Amino acid sequence: MTSTDPLLQPYRLKHLELRNRLMSSAHEPAYSHEGLPKERYRLYHAERARGGIALTMTAGSAVVSPDSPAAFGNLHAYKDEIVPWLKELADDCHSHGAAVMIQLTHLGRRTGWNKADWLPVLAPSPTREAAHRAFPKEAEDWDLERILKDYADAAERMRAAGLDGIEIEAYGHLLDGFWSPATNRREDHHNGSLDNRLRFTRTVLDAIRKRVGPDFIVGIRMVADEAFDKGLTREEGVEIARRLVADGRIDFLNLIRGHIDTDAGLADVIPVQGMRSAPHLDFAGEVRDATKFPVFHAARISDVATARHAIAEGKLDMVGMTRAHIADPHIARKVAERREHEIRPCVGATYCLDRIYEGHEALCVHNAATGREATMPHVIARGDGPARRVVVVGAGPAGLEAARVTAERGHDVTVLEAAPQAGGQVRLAAQSPRRRELIGIIDWRLAACEAAGVVFRFNTWAEAADVLDLAPDVVLIATGGLPDTEVVETGAELAVSSWDILSGDVTPARRVLVFDDNGGHPGMQAAEVAANAGAEVEIVTPERFFAPEMGGLNHVPYARLFQERDVRITINTRLSGIARDGNELVATLGSDYSPHTHDRRVDQVVVEHGTLPLDDLYKALKPASRNHGAIDWPAVIAAKGASPFPRTNPDGEFLLARIGDAVSSRNIHAAIYEALRLTKDL
């Protein structure tokens, strides 16, 4: 039957028939190897194609010139050897019915000179970008002539690779650097009138079109409003879009609003949890109405309802759900099969992008298979062996993932949880209104467990006898940990933990010192709660900068609030002791750099130093287990289906493992990945 769902309607772009309206916009997951999209890169995009997406955009962005060195794992579009790798990727995606395009760019000032070949960074003018910190050289005519050829050469390589089209990047990079008064201070024919500022962009598009011919699809991802007083105005941006459309050189517009030269600016372009959903969607629709031209757009369109609205109301022709597809690459297939309720939600944690901008590869906070398609399954296959009795103790993210996976493998699963409801530390973190979306990590797993027949016993503090009474074949301990405040040498008993503040068990006092020796969200959330309660807050950390385990995008909401609430941030400082003096606490502060100490008088000290494993049950069960709790890590790493449980005790009654923070203090992704990799072949 023909679907009436707006998202499932085909869309014709020039000669290209796209099977629906869902796309993943260009982004760089940093899975490349030596600048080439090898197996990991290919499998990542092929999974989206298998999941029913119409268009997957690769690279964010592929660089066209050696003097545009990779800033975060970018593909090297200036190398001839990229062609066969991209062809393999395109062929794989095409075999599953998806179109493939790539984004090309010269990064301009959005990179560093001390990378790759140590060539000078180029920009229209020598204006420094705060995010990447380089002081660029003003591009000379001979630079632009060379880069012009590089663009055309790169486009020809992409056509030779069998891609369906290319997208030229023009936001925060070289081309739009000429458009914006914030970055163009030239005194030549590349500045002044709008046509002058568009001169190099038009020259590049002309060169590309001559090289690839009239039939190859060429689009542009462009900023149409930089949304700050020094930048490109809305009026000028929309006019640029009109002129580029009128020139007849491009086939689609992919719209961006904002500027990305600072973390704060980037977070408004790519919002994180607690920020507005789809904040630029209406603007994109207005540009589409003004240009009467195909418009693509992506910016925190994370749910199917919003995506459907974007198409149904004529705001977009193709809707980008990029982070949503990192969380679940099978969105289109589930929509088509009327299984929307099974879509793993994007919870806005932006763990994916924060990792990229910190020099790591993209990973989803709660889909451990993303980026690991060679070894980890997105869909759990039912096992062909006998059903086993599995007992999971703990219903946090690790325990729920273990329960979900083992149940979908066909086993009989019982979960014992001490609390009245599931969630563990995720539920605690979600108490903050700005991070409430995190509860989707728990809700999705609870629904999957229910569908798979998992039995839950809440309000059950499990002892060894409770577990053994269930006659288990496999026991998975996911009991998590408890806050460790003993890092303070003296007076630790006078401190409260970040958990105390987040749970509401302890009310913030008037003057609060938060000692963060973890560097992630918990300490920052505790400070946020205290500041919002009206407390006078100081964050003290021994780190060189605050919250190093949290990336730049998630840094922004905290930093904004801390500025507004006058929160004091003290780095390079360690809390060594706490003493009571009347109604006050005296915190002794020192550092790793000097024996000098000084005191701070406050009303409350909050200590965040991670957790210590709650592992008594694990230790009690170890002697009776067949593997004494041991894990065959080489087998786990190889992920070839071999059992991860060595049989070291022939008289043992069950296999035993502990997962997540019951092992050591880590994060949500680590807990979920550990559960998946230990149970996927059970």
pLDDT category at 329 given cuts 50, 70, 90 is very high
For 607-658, the pLDDT digits (tens) are 999 999 999 999 999 999 999 999 999 999 999 999 999 999 999 999 999 9
Q: Which pLDDT score, from 0 to 100, does residue 3 have?
A: 84
Q: Give buried/exposed letters for 80-100 (b at 16+ CB in 10 A, else e).
A: eebbebbebbbebbbebebbb
For 250-278, the pLDDT digits (tens) are 999 999 999 999 999 999 999 999 999 99
Q: What angle do CA 464, 631, 520 make, to 5 degrees?
A: 85
Judge whether residue 546 has pLDDT over 90: no
Token code pair at residue 382: 């039912």
Q: Per DSSP, what are the bridge partners of residue 167?
A: 103, 219
Q: If DSSP codes are grouped into helix, strand and coil, which group holds residue 465?
A: helix
pLDDT category at 115 given cuts 50, 70, 90 is confident
Residues 621 and 656 sit within 8 Å (Cβ to Cβ): yes
Backbone angles phi, psi at 220, to 5 degrees: -140, 130
pLDDT category at 72 given cuts 50, 70, 90 is confident
Token code pair at residue 564: 């507004």
Residue type for position 616 = D
d(CA 34, CA 529): 44
d(CA 287, CA 237): 9
Q: What is the average pLDDT value for the chain, to the nearest integer?
A: 96
**How many CB atoms lie under 10 A from the CB of residue 127?**
17
d(CA 243, CA 245): 5
The interaxial angle of helices 141-160 and 199-212, nearest 10 deg, is 30
pTM of the model: 0.96
β-sheet with 598-602: strand ranges across: 574-581, 584-590, 598-602
Residue type for position 340 = E
For 512-535, the pLDDT digits (tens) are 999 999 999 999 999 999 999 999
**How many CB atoms lie under 10 A from the CB of residue 676?**
22
Residue 459 zone, left/alpha/beta (φ > 0; ψ -120 to 50; rest) = left
Judge whether residue 295 has pLDDT over 60: yes
Judge whether residue 1 has pLDDT over 60: no
